[in-house]
Amino acid sequence: MFTFVTWPIALLSLSAIWLILLFGRRSFLRTFLNSKIKSFDLLLPIFLWVLQSVSFQVWRLDILAPLLLVFVLWGIGMALWQGFVSQRFTTKYFFRIWWRTMGLVACLVTIILIALAVLS
């Protein structure tokens, strides 16, 4: 499971794809991507793949399933908050904020796991 690529190569591929998206948005990807979609938004599946790869190959732990459960519970909480407390729930706003929050958390957890893997 997730061992067909070692985690340093997965990290290099994440970095390469991120750079292609960052610099490609200004030139050749401009016509294909919507202006409201950030390049960071497209990297969430790759962050999750690198996160699972690092956690499984270094510690033999599956960290992706509990993290996805936390994301789902967080999404339910955000939907309830937007619907009942602020009373301005729109699906477009909800999914944009939820997706970007998941991306930020996945990025931070990936950085922490890579730092722990390098230090151990």
Q: Which domain holds residue 15?
A: 7-119
The pLDDT confidence band at residue 109, using thresholds 50, 70 and 90, is very high
Q: How confident is the model at residue 10 (pLDDT cuts 50, 70, 90)?
A: confident
In a domain, 1, yes or no: no
- When divided into structural domains, the chain yields a total of 1
31 located within any domain: yes
Q: Is residue 26 part of a domain?
A: yes
Q: How far apart are CA 101 and CA 79, in angstroms?
A: 13
Question: Could you report the per-residue pLDDT of 48-90, keeping only the tens digit for each?
Answer: 988 888 888 888 888 999 999 999 999 999 999 999 998 888 9
Q: Write down the pLDDT at residue 2.
A: 53
